[in-house]
Amino acid sequence: MVRVRPVLLLVGTLLVATGCAERSPSGAPSPDDAPPFVTLQPMPPEPDPFPEDGLLPDGQLSPEELGAQPIPHEQFTFTERLHALAGESPDFGVLDARDRSVLVLRWFGDLPTEVAALIEEYAGAPFDIRVEPTRYRPGDLRAEAQRLLAEHSGVVTVTFPRNEGDGVGIGIDPAEAASPDQADLERLGVTSRFPLFPEAMGRPVPAAGVAAG
């Protein structure tokens, strides 16, 4: 005689079987042998497409209301052309954007003719371009920042040429000096031919998944 076993349909729960589980004498699986289950969650709704008229839906703030001003397209093209033209020059410092309406170019010495011509080409752009001289050559400051970090790695955590081009910013391990000043730099033997601007700074934390060297 053949017995027909009832089959139960479970709806809404997906059982993930990892193998054939042994059953207890009573026929019910033990807690340790019970297969795990996964609950299926609905996918989040896709965001609405941006309206063709450029108007945001009701209740959403515009970039201007959030305090973010749009960057003129000409700024991108000017920045790309400037870096392609003079990005490798040791006299080139930084290009600082101020309120999206002013670009400040830090440069050491006289501008090369081709850089001056490029700036003149953008005279009618919706932003101003100002050239501010640096006290020291930015390339020399970058090299000095690298030297200080390499030679004083025990106490110096970070170094960088200052945007103003007036010296080198230097981070000192807080364990060595909580509020470092020039006297602390002398005590630690950290000296330079350029002005140093110390501050207490911990060592940078490596990015996740990147092993520290």
Q: Give the three-class secondary structure for 63.
A: coil
Q: At what angle do helices 73-86 and 113-121 cross, to 10 degrees?
A: 170
Structure-token pair, residue 136: 């020291």
| CA proximity to 176, closest of 209, 201, 150, 195 | 201
- Is residue 152 within 8 A of residue 186, CB to CB? The reply is no
Average pLDDT, rounded, for the chain: 78
- Is residue 132 within 8 A of residue 162, CB to CB? The reply is no
Q: Where are the domains of the chain?
A: 73-133, 138-200
State in Å, rounded, how far the first CA of the chain is from the last one: 73
Beta bridge partners of 130: 104
CB neighbour class for 170 (10 Å; exposed up to 12, middle 13-18, buried from 19): buried
- Residue with more model confidence, 199 or 41: 199
- pLDDT mean over 48-72: 52
Residue 133 — φ and ψ, nearest 5°?
-75, 150
Q: What is the pLDDT of residue 45?
A: 57
Of the CA atoms within 13 Å of residue 154, those in its CB half-sphere come to 6
Choice among 4-13, 78-87, 88-97, 121-130 with the minimum mean pLDDT: 4-13
- pLDDT mean over 109-113: 97
CATH topology for the 73-133 domain: Alpha-Beta Plaits (3.30.70)
Highest mean pLDDT among 24-33, 59-68, 151-160, 198-207: 151-160
- Residue with more model confidence, 36 or 168: 168
pLDDT band per the 50, 70, 90 thresholds, residue 34 = low
Q: What is the pLDDT of residue 204?
A: 81
- pLDDT mean over 36-50: 53
CB neighbour class for 145 (10 Å; exposed up to 12, middle 13-18, buried from 19): buried
- pLDDT mean over 192-198: 98
- pLDDT mean over 99-116: 94
